[in-house]
């Protein structure tokens, strides 16, 4: 059988497939310099990540146990891959559709080895992050480049950057939202809270476009539901630094005070349901909303909605034809080597120079 000419590769976040994988999964997230940008050498971040993961694992495992004992992301991504392969085959493109999960230990490496063994000439990286950020798409792109090089892959890699207001993605969001709103109250006492994964404000100040792309999705949805009030908020912040605001957990009281009685949570930046939607929203924020007198509802993630799969298929076809995609290198995060090593070397040199000068002057 001849080797396929091309392959489609879905880039996603990943999640533990069993409770035993929680500690290593947390460690992989915390050690990623594009997610947690510490001005310190990588070795130090690894040490801190290992310690924090060990301390947090029991509580996070408890949360995963509450939603079934595993993350649903890996299985859901498999369904998207199957649906996309079927859609492409119906149009005459019988191609392998694989996935690489950023924080599932060893997964990207296994996928890179498989791509190398397939001897494809062209890989199209298709992120399941609708909104570009160096902490998500950028980090996955960097990992993919490293693992493909390690696997000896000799083909070409192009990538779709993002699609925050693409018709198929917005159609799928609108369909899921419409179904949920049909069981809610009137527009006058209902708010749609678009809760997205947070990002440190300093990242945006350095040029990360994530926040601006979220507003493109928000504006597209407002056009579909002009009678409803939409609010964008941010969840899952970590540490004492200032993150994008408003914070989801803090805006609930404001919405209740403004007369909101039906609160519809729309996880705007997530195409899969996972811990942050099913537990953080579905348990923690639901409990808080009910305590404030509001009735909460959760919009299911788009996942393998036909409109979303059709959008992915169209972007894959365009990328294979040389349209709408960029070289993988254009998605790579900014180099952090100076912040991690150079600044410390430079500081040490200045300290040594100051010490030598002081010693010369006092003699």
| DSSP per position, 296-317 | EEEPPP-TT-HHHHHHHHHHHH
Evaluate if residue 167 carries a pLDDT over 90. Answer: yes
Q: How confident is residue 3, by pLDDT bands cut at 50, 70 and 90?
A: low
Q: How high is the pLDDT of residue 341?
A: 47
Q: What is the pTM of this model?
A: 0.90
**Of 32-41, 150-159, 254-263, minimum mean pLDDT range:** 32-41
Please, what is the end-to-end C-alpha distance for the chain in angstroms? 81
Cβ-proximal residues to 72 (8 Å cutoff; 6+ apart), any chain: 15, 272, 273, 274, 278
Q: Which residue has the higher pLDDT, 354 or 195?
A: 195
Inter-residue contact 145 to 328 (CB < 8 Å): yes
Q: Which residue has the higher pLDDT, 237 or 172?
A: 172
Evaluate if residue 73 carries a pLDDT over 80. Answer: yes
Q: How confident is residue 357, by pLDDT bands cut at 50, 70 and 90?
A: very low
Cβ-proximal residues to 142 (8 Å cutoff; 6+ apart), any chain: 34, 332, 333
> From the centroid of its chain, how far is CA 232?
17
Q: How high is the pLDDT of residue 340?
A: 47
CATH 3.40.50.1400, the chain: domain bounds: 6-164+306-339, 167-298
Average pLDDT over residues 150-158: 95
**Of 46-55, 285-294, 305-314, minimum mean pLDDT range:** 46-55
Average pLDDT, the chain: 91
Average pLDDT over residues 234-255: 90
Average pLDDT over residues 31-46: 84
Residues 14-30: pLDDT tens digits? Answer: 999 999 999 999 999 99
Evaluate if residue 245 carries a pLDDT over 50. Answer: yes
Q: How high is the pLDDT of residue 184?
A: 93
Average pLDDT over residues 159-185: 97
Residues belonging to the chain: 363
CATH number of 167-298: 3.40.50.1400
Q: How high is the pLDDT of residue 35?
A: 80
Inter-residue contact 333 to 134 (CB < 8 Å): yes
Q: How high is the pLDDT of residue 362?
A: 53
Q: How far apart are CA 125 and CA 148, in angstroms?
A: 12
Q: How high is the pLDDT of residue 344?
A: 42
Evaluate if residue 346 carries a pLDDT over 90. Answer: no
Q: How high is the pLDDT of residue 350?
A: 46
Out of 3.30.420.10, 3.30.565.10, 3.40.50.1400, 3.40.50.2020, which CATH number does the structure's domain 6-164+306-339 have? 3.40.50.1400
Of 144, 163, 121, 182, the C-alpha closest to 302 is: 163
């Amino acid at each position: 059988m001849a080797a396929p000419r091309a392959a489609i590769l879905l880039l996603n976040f990943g999640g533990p497939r069993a409770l035993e994988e929680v500690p290593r999964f947390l460690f992989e997230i915390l050690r990623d310099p594009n997610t947690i940008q510490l001005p310190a050498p990588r070795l130090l971040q690894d040490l801190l990540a290992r310690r924090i993961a060990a301390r947090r694992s029991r509580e996070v495992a408890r949360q995963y146990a509450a939603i079934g004992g595993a993350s649903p992301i890996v299985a859901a991504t498999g369904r998207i891959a199957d649906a996309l392969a079927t859609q492409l085959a119906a149009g005459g493109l019988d191609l392998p559709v694989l996935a690489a999960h950023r924080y599932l230990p060893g997964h990207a490496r296994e996928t890179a080895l498989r791509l190398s063994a397939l001897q494809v000439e062209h890989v199209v990286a298709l992120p399941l992050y609708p909104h570009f950020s160096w902490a998500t798409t950028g980090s996955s792109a960097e990992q993919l480049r490293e693992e493909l090089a390690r696997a000896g892959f000799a083909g070409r890699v192009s990538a779709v950057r993002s699609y925050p207001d693409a018709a198929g993605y917005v159609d799928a969001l609108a369909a899921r939202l419409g179904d949920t709103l049909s069981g809610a109250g009137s527009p006058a006492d209902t708010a749609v809270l678009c809760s997205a994964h947070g990002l440190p404000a300093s990242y945006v100040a350095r040029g990360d476009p994530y926040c601006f792309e979220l507003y493109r999705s928000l504006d597209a949805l407002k056009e579909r539901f002009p009678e409803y009030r939409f609010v964008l908020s941010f969840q899952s912040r970590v540490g004492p630094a200032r993150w994008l605001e408003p914070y989801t957990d803090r805006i609930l009281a404001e919405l209740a005070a403004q007369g909101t009685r039906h609160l519809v949570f729309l996880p705007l930046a997530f195409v899969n349901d996972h811990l942050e939607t099913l537990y953080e929203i579905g348990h923690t924020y639901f409990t808080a909303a009910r305590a404030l007198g509001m009735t909460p509802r959760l919009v299911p993630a788009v996942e393998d909605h036909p409109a979303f799969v059709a959008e992915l298929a169209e972007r894959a076809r365009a990328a294979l034809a040389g349209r709408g995609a960029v070289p993988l290198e254009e998605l790579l995060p900014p180099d952090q080597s100076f912040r991690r090593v150079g600044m410390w070397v430079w500081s040490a040199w200045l300290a040594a120079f100051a010490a030598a000068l002081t010693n010369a002057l006092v003699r």
